[in-house]
Amino acid sequence: MSAAAPLLEVDGLSTVLGSTGARILDRISFSLRRGEVLGVVGESGSGKSMLGLTIMGLLPPVIRRCEGRIVLDGEDLAGLSPKAWRAKRGRDLAMIFQEPMTALNPVMKVGAQVEEVLVRRRSMSRAAAREEVVRLFRRVEIPSPERRVAAYPHEMSGGMRQRVVIAMALAAQPKLLVADEPTTALDVTIQAQILDLLRDLQRDQGLSMLLITHDLGVIAETADRVIVLYAGRVAEIAPVRTLFDAPAHPYTRALLSSIPKTTGPRHRLVSIEGAVPGVGALPKGCRFAPRCPFHQPACDAAAPPLRVVGEGHVVSCILPCSTDRPVGALA
Ligand SMILES: Nc1ncnc2c1ncn2[C@@H]1O[C@H](COP(=O)(O)OP(=O)(O)OP(=O)(O)O)[C@@H](O)[C@H]1O
Ligand code: SF4
Ligand SMILES: [Mg+2]
């Protein structure tokens, strides 16, 4: 596999809810480069978690993947058996969630939990694993790591617990880390520290990360490129600066409209009139149409295809854009 090839390529990925046939994710395509932080942003219900869970092979039973490829380092995960996908999760794929306790065993010391990963996934001896846990705790900036390995999760703060979960994710040396709202449950100061840590890990260790968040401040500080999801479809993909300086999709513009610049205090998504349509009420054409101030009859005919409108910049909207080019490779 060439080093220049993307680490992850998602191509035409769709998921459906039970027998309804409603597409929760609809023909999602993007790529993630090695060592890149690719942000995924959108309002609640836009399909961010669904995307992360689909890549991890962790869909709830009522939802199934119906088409598309998920190619990680040259291998199509969508073709794997559940057992082989599980093995990938232990080794090549790791996920961290908003609430660290979902990943931690409350009655087991935190050091022992990370040690288990090292012994099982990297075949380390107990003695080597114990040393490695301390090194990992130091790497994720847990103070007094030699002492903290013996703590139980309830003896730690939320921020420290999330550091343990990040250490546990790193222990397996995954190719891809999927982080779903990793700082949302933490207070603002701790959020900033965890984001700094993730950014450092990305820089120092070339960690590749799909960073899911509803927080544009997190995106501005952490992501290299961004996917904007709306109601299960890609609205726009752009390098982070382009997204903030020249958003092309009316939905992205609405999201950004209350944010004057990319630096400064963190902002929550502005509220846009209306809500993301539920899976039972998805419009046939552009899914943003019921809320879009630029809506016109042509928007209702079919899903607008993704168009290239700039360097690494694609948008799904029929409105013309001054930098339009013919459709080419996706970002
Ligand atoms: N288990 C489920 N059964 C049925 N529908 C579901 C299920 N999980 C998610 N959905 C639907 O899938 C869509 C996408 O949900 P998802 O959880 O991915 O959104 P999200 O962008 O992660 O939102 P949030 O910011 O609130 O976490 C929503 O319409 C949601 O109602
Ligand atoms: S396709 Fe039409 S409704 Fe959809 S975002 Fe563009 S202008 Fe608005
Ligand atoms: Mg979610």
Query: Edge to edge, what strands does the sheet with 225-230 contain?
Result: 93-96, 176-180, 208-213, 37-41, 225-230, 233-239, 313-315, 307-310
* Res 322: pLDDT: 52
Number of alpha carbons in the 13 Å side-chain half-sphere of residue 59: 21
* Res 288: pLDDT: 96
**R_g (Cα) of the chain, nearest Å:** 20
Residue among 48, 98, 227 whose CB has most ligand 1 atoms within 8 A, to mutate: 48
Number of alpha carbons in the 13 Å side-chain half-sphere of residue 187: 4
Report the predicted TM-score, pTM, of the whole model to 2 decimal places: 0.91
Q: Which ligand is nearest to the CA of 276?
A: 1
Rounded average pLDDT per 10-residue block, the chain, 331 residues = 83 91 94 96 95 95 92 94 90 92 94 96 95 95 96 95 94 94 89 91 90 93 96 97 95 80 48 82 93 94 93 93 47 34
> Following DSSP, what letter does each residue of 204-248 receive, concatenated?
HH--EEEEEES-HHHHHHH-SEEEEEETTEEEEEEEHHHHHHS--
Q: Backbone phi, then psi, for 173, in 5-degree steps? A: 50, 60
Amino acid of residue 288: F
272: Cβ below 6 Å to ligand 2? Answer: no
Q: How is residue 281 annotated by DSSP?
A: G
* Res 261: pLDDT: 47
230: Cβ below 6 Å to ligand 2? Answer: no
Ligand 2 atom closest to 286 (CA) = 4
* Res 129: pLDDT: 97
Ligand 2 atom closest to 296 (CA) = 2
52: Cβ below 6 Å to ligand 1? Answer: no
315: Cβ below 6 Å to ligand 2? Answer: no
